[in-house]
Amino acid sequence: MNLAIAGAEPKKMMCVGFNQDNTSLSVGTVNGYQLFSLTSKDQLETLHTNFTEKEACIVSRLFSSSLVAVVTLSSPRKVKICHFKKESEICNYSFSDTILSVKLNRQRLVVCLEENLYIHNIKDMKVIHTIRGTSPNPLGLCDLSYQERSYLAYPGSSQDGTLQIFDTEALKPVVVIAAHDNPLAAFSFNPNGSMIATASEKGTVIRVYSVPDGARLFDLRRGLKRCVSISSLAFSSDSLHLGASSNTETVHIFKLETQAQPSSAHKEETPNTWTGYLTSAMKSSAAAYLPSPVTDMFSQDRAFATCRLEASGMRTLCAFSSIRDVPYVFVVTEDGQLHIFTLDPLKGGECVEVARHRIDEFVQPPAHVSSPPTDRPLTSPSRKQDSPAQIQNRTMTLKLVVPQQTSNWMTTPNFHQCELLMSSAGKTGTAGYRHGNKPHMLNKKIYQKLGHRFLPACVTQPVRWPEKTMQ
């Protein structure tokens, strides 16, 4: 979800998104971007932090790999493909217009502009096809299936809810679906690309179509009381549930059951009595005299389950995931919070919020650091200059996250807390870090590279280091 789309108010969190299997979360802010693991509901594990790519408005990760696509507001027409564990850029591509969204699967990378779509081969990142002259798509709406098929969906019209499906492997159109009367607001494939859910700008009806034939499978009613702005649609991994989030305080979850096998709850609503028979007959009789848009309402299902947020008026993003075989619903709000709800896949009902995490505060760089440190003495400009002997006896301890294996501690993802120790004497200095009880020297190159990540320090007991300057 790109929160920096034209017309939106500037916010600290500029984009947020789940990877394809909802096992990690990417967050872009004015200060950079960060990747989180979603393998625990109680604690978010930080996978990577980048303070170099300021104002990251698009951050898309490929499953659980090290590949990530990044777009920033300072270079809105350039997409960078990076290996975040190696902290290196693989390649970059520049386009003629602003990049509005980037989608990835194991075969393709798709870059969406307002009136063009570029399809890249994920193996060598070369452009293999371009869809030019699409209907104006200022929100960058598109979706890419990611398992058995590699279908691309994008709006076919800016005047109504026409949806185009394109095969990115065969490089040919598949089907055109007249999904809604009003322009599209959101759409999403199920995991294997056999279904696609759609919602219009009106927001009262959500429809599910089969792919590739385009047949309508479900009409799902979010509500009749008010029109809302649907911001995201998401299928569960088994495609049995569909979530819809909007600018209201309620996230609706539908159970996708065929009419031939209605749920037990639906059976209870139509008892085998004279009253139940009369009610059913009245509905059938009325349907014969009503226009089709109204008769559709009788066949639409109510929400199977709901997640309640405390506030409305914000764009939201929802996803399904299982942690230790327990199903959960993730809901991200644009104010920088991740809400985690439990889901009863059999009974449904009101989902209970079991955890909440702030996701826009983890990527704030230390306020006291404006540039990477140098080898100048650790003295304060506001205080009297100390003698070299006094400086040599003063050591600072800084908290730093480093991996367990010091041989490749710049790239390994297995992090734990250790202490970074610095000392300075006159115009020369030494630095190192303590791993367990063993001190290690820290050379100048690594020291300057990691200097901007250091947290506030406190003065501790002196630590003796070899009489050697940083190299």
pLDDT in tens, 190-228: 999 999 999 999 988 999 999 999 999 999 987 656 678
CB 102 within 8 A of CB 58: yes
- Centre a 10 Å sphere on the Cβ of residue 165 and count the other Cβ atoms it contains: 23
Would you say how long the chain is, in residues? 471
Interatomic CA distance for residues 206 and 115, integer angstroms: 25
- Centre a 10 Å sphere on the Cβ of residue 85 and count the other Cβ atoms it contains: 16
Q: Report helix angle 274-287 to 292-299, nearest 10.
A: 150
Interatomic CA distance for residues 163 and 143, integer angstroms: 11
pLDDT of residue 266: 37
Interatomic CA distance for residues 220 and 391, integer angstroms: 71
- Centre a 10 Å sphere on the Cβ of residue 209 and count the other Cβ atoms it contains: 22
Beta-strand ranges (E) seen in 257-334 are 305-308, 316-323, 326-333
Interatomic CA distance for residues 384 and 387, integer angstroms: 10
pLDDT of residue 204: 86
Interatomic CA distance for residues 118 and 134, integer angstroms: 12
pLDDT tens digits in sequence order for the chain, 471 residues long: 877 664 455 568 899 999 999 999 999 999 999 999 999 999 999 999 999 999 999 999 999 999 999 999 999 999 999 999 999 999 999 999 999 999 999 999 999 999 999 999 999 999 999 999 999 999 999 999 998 889 999 999 999 999 999 999 999 999 999 999 999 999 999 999 999 999 999 988 999 999 999 999 999 987 656 678 899 999 999 999 999 999 999 999 999 987 544 333 333 334 444 444 444 444 444 444 444 444 443 355 589 999 999 988 899 999 999 999 999 999 999 999 999 999 999 999 999 999 999 998 754 455 544 444 444 443 334 444 444 444 334 333 333 333 333 333 333 233 333 334 443 333 333 445 444 444 555 444 444 444 433 333 332 333 333 433 333
- Centre a 10 Å sphere on the Cβ of residue 105 and count the other Cβ atoms it contains: 21
**Distance of CA 169 to CAs 106, 133, 173, 443, Å?**
11, 20, 11, 48
Beta-strand ranges (E) seen in 158-293 are 161-167, 172-180, 184-189, 195-200, 205-210, 216-221, 230-235, 241-246, 250-255
pLDDT of residue 379: 39
pLDDT of residue 308: 96
